[in-house]
């Protein structure tokens, strides 16, 4: 017994020690989060160095600190587009900044509209007679669009540049579901509502291919025009029409091939590139070869003064999939966004700008957001919508209160249609000897029954509710756009449109970004002088935890190993395709209710990567499907 007591005391002591250790770590982490702030004192004369080691997004996603700490790896970095634009435009005017340098070694991309906006900001730097230099191991489409605006584009001797254009494979699961004997019940309205096609077809319908092909063609033309304007010597035809011949002419040397096609200006490693920058902005005192004087993004932003003069024009951001509840940032939780809008009702806003970058999602959450926007409109203030890369389906639903809609040619919008999906497994179970025997008092008892099958009555109810939802959708659009239901239905039916075509159809009023939408809102509010107003972003706070964890877990020693080389661009796209598979399975297996969602919308590698992180991977998604979870109407 004495020995047992001693062992017990030792175990209790170990337990108390670990408890104390975790408590100390918790309070240390809490203190670090509360006190972590970029130091504006780090701003110094030299280059503004933008290490874009992540994706450019409209709204950085919320992170789970516990998951990050347990994984031991930093969260995927995300850069808010307007922060980058603000930083670059300020650099053009500040005498301390002699050049802007973009490190694109680990850049994972962003939407076309965001790339074009950042490119325009880089043009202001060059217009101020300041050089813009970029370096990367490998340039993909998005990186190349940014680099096109640089005065010097450098590539590593072992790297290269390639432009592939929009497009790629969609995955279709009908044959797989048939083999598994899973019955997929689809309820939809719209000839072009191809979001559900992967579950009911083995290939895309002609209507879906027509719509998607038209959008891809428009995006490609916009991309080519932007590159040609910013970098006339870039020969995209040489790269895209005969890529094998192009590379063979350079004897397989991808860096030299990029140089010959005019995609890059110089071939050199990071040291050579750094030495070139050092000649322009000054060497780092006591630094290693290739190091130059620089200021990084966070201290630079911390040093910039926020404009808070004049009346406030509210800006609410709806970014990511629209979902029920408080999700986000990074996902558009209907309750969270409605709460932010309602809390601003007493703020005496001069106008409201709704910034949308979303493929849609839950009809219920979309309606929650729309009605919250209407409460501001009821106060008699102007309501303006600014569309970024995507404002489709539910993303268009929340745009209907606007009196003016701004978009870009590269914006994807429309997809006016809704759907619901319920998988059932009665045939699968029967093969395993499981036979449900329902006892019902009415045809709706126990429905929807994903194990025993759906009755004709419940199928009719769900389809009727979807049809009612579609009629409501086209009614909202018609009221907003001053069109009849028949006119909206003709351009609806779930079809997606590029921004240029959407403008011709009257779904969009004029081209322009967030700045143009704010200026229009100010004018509509009779605030003619720029000093009379400022933008106030509602419901958004900087997340110091993301920056802190990234700083704590960043390991510069193995940075080179994590850079994406030429082959890595291919692997990144394969990873994105795998992430899309996980997302599709989650769509089938998750109980999300009736959806106004544009699954067929083209999605960037960066965005799909974020979806992959949120979904938890393919295996977890397949596990959810195997768990016989159903997706039914709200």
pLDDT tens digits for range 620-632: 333 333 333 333 3
* Residue 498 reports pLDDT greater than 60: yes
Give the residue-averaged pLDDT of 303-321.
Answer: 91
Pairing mode, strands 412-414 and 383-392: parallel
Catalytic (active-site) positions: 193, 393
Confidence class for position 158, pLDDT limits 50, 70, 90: very high
Higher pLDDT, 522 or 531: 522
**Considering the chain, what percentage of its residues have pLDDT values greater than 90?**
55
Which pLDDT score is estimated for 588? 65
Q: Helices in 420-565 by DSSP H: which ranges?
A: 426-431, 456-481, 485-491, 499-505, 514-524, 544-553
Report the distance separating Cα 419 and Cα 594, nearest Å.
6
Which pLDDT score is estimated for 219? 95
Least confident of 483-497, 545-559, 564-578: 545-559
Report the distance separating Cα 375 and Cα 339, nearest Å.
12
Which pLDDT score is estimated for 29? 54
Averaged pLDDT of the chain: 84
Backbone dihedral region for residue 309 (phi beyond 0: left; psi -120 to 50: alpha; all else: beta): beta
85-124, pLDDT tens digit by residue?
Answer: 999 999 999 999 999 999 999 999 999 999 999 999 999 9
Which pLDDT score is estimated for 254? 94
Q: Is 3.90.226.10 the CATH classification of the domain at 168-202+307-539+576-634?
A: yes
Higher pLDDT, 354 or 429: 354
214-231, pLDDT tens digit by residue?
Answer: 999 999 999 999 999 999
Question: Are the C-beta atoms of 148 and 119 separated by less than 8 Å?
Answer: yes
**Considering the chain, what percentage of its residues have pLDDT values greater than 70?**
77
235-283, pLDDT tens digit by residue?
Answer: 999 999 999 999 999 999 999 999 999 999 999 999 999 999 999 999 9
Non-local (6+) Cβ contacts of 187 within 8 A are 419, 420, 421, 422, 459, 462, 463, 465, 466, 594, 633
- Name the nearest CA neighbour of 588 among 578, 599, 577: 599
Number of Cβ atoms within 10 Å of the Cβ of 180: 16
Which pLDDT score is estimated for 40? 53
Q: Which CATH class, in words, describes the domain spanning 40-163+231-303?
A: alpha beta
Coil vs helix vs strand at 527: coil
Which pLDDT score is estimated for 580? 66
Total number of residues shown for the chain: 634
As beta bridge partners, residue 209 has none
Coil vs helix vs strand at 161: strand
172-214, pLDDT tens digit by residue?
Answer: 888 988 998 998 888 887 666 666 888 888 988 888 888 889 9
Confidence class for position 408, pLDDT limits 50, 70, 90: very high
* Residue 559 reports pLDDT greater than 80: no
Which pLDDT score is estimated for 574? 57
Give the residue-averaged pLDDT of 282-291.
Answer: 90
Which pLDDT score is estimated for 540? 74
Which pLDDT score is estimated for 615? 39
Which pLDDT score is estimated for 579? 64
* Residue 634 reports pLDDT greater than 60: no
Find the helix or strand (DSSP H, E) in which 361 lies.
strand 360-362
Give the residue-averaged pLDDT of 460-473.
Answer: 90
Going by the DSSP 8-state scheme, the letter that residue 442 receives in this structure is S
Fold match between domain 40-163+231-303 and domain 168-202+307-539+576-634:
yes
Tokens for 128, please give them.
């101020």
Segments making up each domain of the chain, as ranges = 40-163+231-303, 168-202+307-539+576-634
Alpha-carbon separation of residue 451 from 414, 425, 435 (angstroms)? 36, 5, 9
């Amino acid at each position: 017994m004495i020995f047992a007591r001693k062992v017990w005391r030792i175990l209790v002591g170990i337990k108390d020690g670990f408890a104390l250790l975790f408590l100390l770590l918790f309070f240390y982490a809490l203190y670090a989060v509360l006190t972590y702030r970029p130091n504006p004192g780090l701003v110094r004369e030299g280059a503004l160095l933008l290490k874009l080691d992540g994706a450019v997004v409209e709204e950085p996603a919320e992170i789970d600190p516990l998951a990050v700490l347990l994984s031991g790896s930093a969260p995927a970095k995300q850069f808010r587009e307007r922060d980058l634009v603000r930083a670059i435009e300020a650099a053009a005017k500040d005498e301390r900044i002699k050049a802007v340098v973009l490190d694109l070694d680990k850049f994972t991309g962003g939407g076309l509209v965001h790339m074009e906006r950042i490119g325009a900001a880089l043009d202001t730097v060059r217009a101020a007679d300041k050089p813009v230099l970029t370096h990367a191991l490998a340039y993909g489409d998005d990186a190349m669009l940014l680099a096109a605006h640089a005065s010097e584009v450098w590539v590593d001797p072992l790297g290269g540049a390639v432009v592939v254009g929009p497009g790629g494979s969609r995955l279709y699961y009908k044959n797989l579901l048939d083999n598994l004997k899973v019955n997929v019940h689809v309820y939809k309205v719209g000839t072009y509502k191809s979001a559900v096609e992967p579950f009911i077809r083995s290939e895309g319908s002609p209507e879906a291919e027509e719509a998607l092909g038209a959008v891809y063609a428009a995006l490609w033309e916009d991309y080519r025009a932007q590159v040609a304007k910013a970098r006339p010597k870039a020969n995209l035809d040489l790269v895209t029409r005969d890529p094998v011949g192009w590379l063979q002419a350079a004897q397989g040397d991808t860096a030299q091939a990029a140089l010959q096609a005019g995609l890059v200006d110089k071939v050199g490693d990071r040291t050579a590139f750094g030495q070139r920058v050092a000649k322009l902005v000054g060497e780092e005192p006591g630094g290693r070869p290739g190091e130059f004087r620089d200021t990084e993004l966070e201290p630079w932003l911390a040093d910039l003064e926020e404009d808070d003069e004049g009346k406030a024009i509210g800006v609410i951001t709806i970014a990511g999939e629209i979902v029920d509840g408080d999700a986000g940032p990074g996902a558009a939780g209907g309750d969270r966004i409605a709460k932010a809008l309602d809390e601003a009702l007493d703020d005496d806003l001069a106008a409201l700008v709704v910034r949308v970058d979303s493929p849609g999602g839950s009809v219920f959450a979309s309606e929650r957001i729309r009605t919250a926007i209407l409460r501001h409109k009821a106060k008699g203030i102007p309501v303006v919508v600014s569309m970024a890369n995507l404002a489709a389906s539910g993303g268009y639903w929340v745009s209907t209160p606007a009196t003016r809609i701004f978009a870009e040619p590269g914006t994807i919008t429309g997809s006016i249609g809704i759907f619901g999906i319920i998988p059932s497994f009665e045939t699968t179970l029967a093969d395993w000897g499981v036979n449900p025997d329902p006892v019902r008092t009415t045809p709706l008892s126990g429905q929807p029954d994903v194990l025993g099958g759906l009755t004709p009555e419940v199928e009719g109810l769900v389809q009727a509710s979807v049809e009612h939802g579609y009629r409501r959708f086209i009614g909202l659009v018609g009221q907003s756009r001053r069109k009849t239901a028949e006119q909206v239905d003709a351009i609806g039916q779930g079809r997606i449109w590029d921004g240029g075509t959407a403008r011709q159809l009257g779904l969009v009023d004029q081209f322009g970004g967030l700045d143009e939408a704010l200026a229009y809102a100010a004018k509509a509010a009779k605030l003619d002088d720029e000093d009379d107003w400022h933008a106030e972003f509602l419901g958004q706070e900087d997340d110091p935890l993301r920056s802190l964890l990234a700083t704590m877990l960043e390991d510069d020693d193995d940075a080179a190993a994590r850079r994406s080389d030429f082959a890595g661009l291919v692997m990144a796209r394969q990873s994105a395709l795998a992430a899309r598979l996980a997302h599709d399975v989650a769509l089938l297996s998750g109980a999300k209710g009736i959806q106004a969602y544009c699954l067929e919308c083209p999605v960037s590698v960066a965005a799909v990567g974020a979806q992959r992180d949120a979904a938890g991977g393919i295996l977890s998604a397949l596990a959810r499907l195997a768990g016989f979870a159903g997706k039914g109407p709200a």
